Chains A and B, each alone.
Chain A
């Protein structure tokens, strides 16, 4: 079991309200990702669930039991910190064994579990090293190992990949997803990187300034963002959000169109523009196009190689069924 319900949870540091009343249901076995810009309160929310911070108001219910007043160790949750928080003077083995030792488990059982965890995480060759003698990815694995040996009800991850280089990040992302497939334990994962959120989550919670902007599956957020913030945050490159007369043609205050949903032509189309920058990635070409319909350059994706260069004239046509419409308050019109 690993069901976490937040009921009217509030958090303020002194007078500064970080999280105004918030309700959220996390079901057993789900992979939930909290995503949002830096400083929006993702870590704070995770720490509230972990019990490392006290709530200012509201209730945290874990597996049907009120856990609001429980100390962290009694909540049955394991956390992987952004800094890994390994114990520097202990070997990898002792690090992973620490929670079991604290639980008073007998030596044979501890060894068995640590060996098993080390093997699944490919740490068996480093088991007697200190954290300082490991690479970033290996430290990350030790931190995960320390979390899984406890067999917790749920895992909490706070930006676990942000200290790794890009290639390693993609690898670890897969490993964590696989771990979730295998263990089927609830995971709550915090990140500011929407790509991580899209690729890993069953359910994404988009946060802004402590408020939940939208909760949904990655595809729901992609196809039906509830407001302009979610529309701009989810998807890469960002959705083009265009106001003014052009939006008026769609009966909206703001219209949104994703770069991949704009048809490109060198001869004809709805909007005329000049290419400012073209990014050739091989598989795709991204164009930043200056056009009178919007004061900022529009981003457009062309599949494969699209032979234009800075200064060339192009015509853009939004695919009509892929246009998102928002009202004056930024809410989606359905």
Chain B
């Protein structure tokens, strides 16, 4: 691949019916590019968790995916409330998800830990009251 490929998605806030749509499309796009299924799976898991977090915690946002020779970069940006204590948010089991969200099966506090676990690089830039940008990389 001489040039990198980019995909952009807008993620709706609060819509749990279509939640995960951008991740499913990224999975399909990466499959068409012929990437290793194990790499696609890692990207899919990390992106889904980040996408769902934007839907649940930040009233939506945007997703940019960049594919180059050796790496998939995922950039998730929202204008939500931000994360006051990133270290605490990263802990297994920490969640502020409300009951109605928990009843759907979310709120285990495992999303951010999964994103860390399935990527080679993860950076959270968050400002309370302004929003959150999460950058992840999966190498191949």
A associates with B = no
B-side residues, CB < 8 A to A, are none
A-side residues, CB < 8 A to B, are none
